[in-house]
Amino acid sequence: MKVKSDLCYDVVQDVIRGPHTNVQVFVIRSLVGKWKQPIYYGFDKPVSKKLFFTAIEMIESAGFRVRPFVCDKGPSNQKLFSKLNKFVILRALLVNTIYGHFVMFLTC
């Protein structure tokens, strides 16, 4: 998503941050409960295939089951989509994780 491209001074770490133009955010959300939690953000870089699978592995190693992965049809998500080579087509696109089950990849 686009962000305001300003400079910001980080008092705690004594550094100037920015200017940034884009941010990628991963949020996990319960399908049965009423909660959601951001777990990753990165400025001005697309989500890599390695980062995508690392996020799924970390979420599942914490005891959660990743079911759908939902994203918009932005250019960086389309690029990630084309790089994922573990897809099979079964009415939706599914990716097999290291835990032996499938994660649905949905775009909206």
**pLDDT tens figures, 76-85:** 877 887 777 5
Q: Is residue 2 part of a domain?
A: no
Q: How many domains are there within the chain? A: 1
| Residue 14: burial class (beta carbons within 10 Å; 0-12, 13-18, 19+) | exposed
Q: Is residue 40 part of a domain?
A: yes
Q: Is the peptide bond before 46 cis (omega within 30 degrees of 0)?
A: no
Q: Is residue 47 part of a domain?
A: yes
Do 73 and 36 meet the contact criterion of CB atoms below 8 Å apart?
no
Q: Is residue 101 part of a domain?
A: yes
Q: Is residue 60 part of a domain?
A: yes
Mean pLDDT on 37-56: 89
Arithmetic mean of pLDDT over the chain: 79
pTM for the model: 0.70
Q: How far apart are CA 99 and CA 66, in angstroms?
A: 10
Which residue range is the domain that position 79 belongs to? 8-107
| Residue of higher predicted confidence among 68 and 37 | 37
Distances (CA, A) of 34 to 30, 62, 65: 7, 19, 16
At 89 the pLDDT is 43
Q: Is residue 16 part of a domain?
A: yes
- One-letter amino acid at 89 equals I
